[in-house]
Amino acid sequence: MQPERHDHHDDDHDADERAWQSIVDNYGDRAELEDPPPASSSASASSPFGGRFGAPQSSSTEDAEPFTANDDEEDEDGYVPPPPPPLPVLPPDRGLAWAGVLGSPVVLLCALILRISIPTWLGYLLVAGFVGGFLYLVVKMPREPRDPWDDGAQV
């Protein structure tokens, strides 16, 4: 006669089935959690968060100071930034080059979309203005950085 074997696997399986059935039966219901244990005084003394890190904050409005976006009355005598410097003036030669690079494709695209027939010489002139403006801007690009000691990092 063989000894009776009792497999714990069946007990675990039944417990798992009951747990899953409980989840399925209570799907959509709000879970009821037990109250969290009170924080011990030793934990609150050693923790900078009073032992309640991650715990919900009190919802009482008596403790909280309301946020007001109109605190400008207090900041009237504070820092006022200086006016920004004027925008740099573009030299005429570069302005003409940018007009060729940006304006020529716009004119050609508008003529294409609106089905306006432009003379052949004007089409060639617009293409030449684009290519010439682009080449001029590339040639006039600075070869070295503005500040040779600048590595690109900004604070």
Q: Is residue 47 in a domain? A: no
Between the CA atoms of 11, 12, 14 and 20, what dihedral angle is there, to the nearest 10 degrees?
Answer: 160
Q: How many domains, the chain?
A: 1
Taking phi over 0 as left and psi of -120 to 50 as alpha, with beta for the rest, 101 belongs to alpha
User: Residue 79 has which token pair?
Assistant: 């820092």
Q: Is residue 15 in a domain? A: no
Domain that holds residue 116: 104-139
Task: Give the model confidence (pLDDT) of 47-56 as tens digits.
Answer: 555 555 555 5
Task: Give the model confidence (pLDDT) of 94-125 as tens digits.
Answer: 999 999 999 999 999 999 999 999 999 999 99
Task: Read off the pTM.
Answer: 0.43
